[in-house]
């Protein structure tokens, strides 16, 4: 549980930094910053989910992000598994992205949907703390 709590705090901090970047005036530099912060935040999100599922005895140490997302949806930790899969695919795309149009599309998705999903996850994880 200790690892889960530490990683959850890292996720909260990273999400706050991502929201900071999203609130800045839009420019090419800020879009790049948002994309980079999103990659980092998504990594923390799925790994935090994995830590909690491991604590519950559900996930193994070798679960892929896709497997963790599916299990997290099944256990009610996330409410929209399809969007989380899209979030994972967007993160994967960013690792190999050389197309400005695609980066803009991913940026818009982060701003309009993905940040909301991450915030909902944090709310759910905070409820776990109270149990």
Hey, what domains does the chain have and what are their CATH numbers?
A: 2-130 (1.20.120.330)
- What letter does residue 75 receive in the DSSP assignment? T
- The predicted model scores a pTM of 0.92
pLDDT tens by residue, the chain, 131 residues: 788 889 999 999 999 999 999 999 999 999 999 999 999 999 999 999 999 999 888 866 678 999 999 999 999 999 999 999 999 999 998 877 677 888 899 999 999 999 999 999 999 999 876 55
Contacts of 117 (CB under 8 A, 6+ apart): 78, 80, 83, 84, 87
């Amino acid at each position: 549980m200790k690892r889960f709590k530490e990683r959850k705090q890292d996720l909260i901090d990273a999400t706050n930094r991502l929201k900071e970047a999203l609130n800045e005036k839009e420019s090419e530099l800020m879009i790049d910053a948002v994309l980079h912060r999103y990659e980092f935040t998504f990594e923390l999100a799925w790994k935090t989910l994995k830590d909690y599922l491991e604590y519950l005895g559900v996930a193994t140490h070798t679960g892929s992000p896709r497997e963790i997302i599916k299990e997290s949806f099944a256990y009610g930790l996330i409410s929209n598994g399809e969007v989380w899969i899209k979030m994972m695919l967007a993160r994967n795309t960013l690792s190999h992205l050389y197309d400005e149009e695609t980066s803009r599309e991913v940026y818009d998705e982060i701003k309009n949907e993905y940040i909301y999903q991450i915030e909902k996850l944090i709310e759910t994880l905070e409820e776990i703390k109270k149990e």
